[in-house]
Structure 1
Amino acid sequence: MQLHRGQADEYKRRHDELWPELTELLKTTGVQDYSIFLDEETYALFGVLTIENPAALDELPKHPVMQRWWAYMGDIMDSNPDNSPVSIPLKEVFYLA
């Protein structure tokens, strides 16, 4: 994902105040150990999470709270026409179990 320049503090503030209903949605979907990292030179965001059933993530865009969150974040990061964040799937090249 891509954050707009100068918006790192605002991005962190909004996530520090994550809506309880969004937290609940993520947890009931099975999301655990969710972290988002920022490259402070490029403003690229990289999210890492654990989930037992990755297919459950496909249901998140259907939830109104997820859609509201995307709209809320759209002014500080690159977004698609449906307000979802622009994201690029990455290829795993190494994993140590």
Structure 2
Amino acid sequence: MERYAWKAIVKEGKIDEYVKRHNEIWPELVDVLKAAGIKNYTIWNVGNELFGYYECEKGVQFAAETQAKSPVVDKWNEFMKDVMIMEMDPETGAQPMLKQVFFLE
């Protein structure tokens, strides 16, 4: 199973709103993520910094392509623009994948 990690920044004073929106995640977005083969999706924060991690049952490429084709993901990204700063990879349209430097199984 491939793993994917990303990072982003929450805008100043918006962490509570960021958490609230994720506590109320849209069911249709969950459906897209599951269809993309995404499991064990977790997001952490320290201050205004975010770190996200998920596992891709069908591979990172499939997960990226599924999300890129989804109008629901586009709508969610637009919805989140006022609370976070996301730098997107111009090739994939997703947050740039962090490079793994250590793994202990």
Sort the TM-score into its range (normalised by shorter chain). Answer: 0.7 to 0.9
Describe the superposition over 1:54-95 as per-residue Cα deviations: whole angstroms up to 9, x where unpaired: 1112221221000000000001111459xx77x443221210
Q: Unaligned stretches of 5+ in structure 2?
A: 1-7
Q: Is the 8 A contact 2:42 2:52 kept in 1?
A: yes
Aligned-residue identity in percent: 36
Indicate the structure with greater strand content: 2
How many aligned positions are there? Answer: 93
- Choose from 53, 62, 75 the match for 1:56: 62
RMSD of the TM alignment (CA)?
2.0
Runs of 4+ in 1 over 6 A off after TM superposition: none
Q: TM-score, normalised by structure 2?
A: 0.79
Deviation of the 1:44 alpha carbon? 1.2
The alpha-carbon distance between structure 1 residues 11 and 31, as it changes in their structure 2 partners (threshold 3 A), is same
In structure 1, the gaps of 5 or more residues are none
Aligned counterparts, 1:1-97, within 5 A:
1-40=8-47, 43-52=48-57, 53-59=59-65, 60-79=67-86, 87-97=95-105
What letter matches 1:26 in structure 2? L
Q: CA deviation at 1:19?
A: 0.2
Is the 2:87–2:96 Cα contact (8 Å) retained in structure 1? no
Secondary structure of the 1:2 match is strand
| Greater relative CO, 1 or 2 (CA 8 Å, sep 6+) | 2
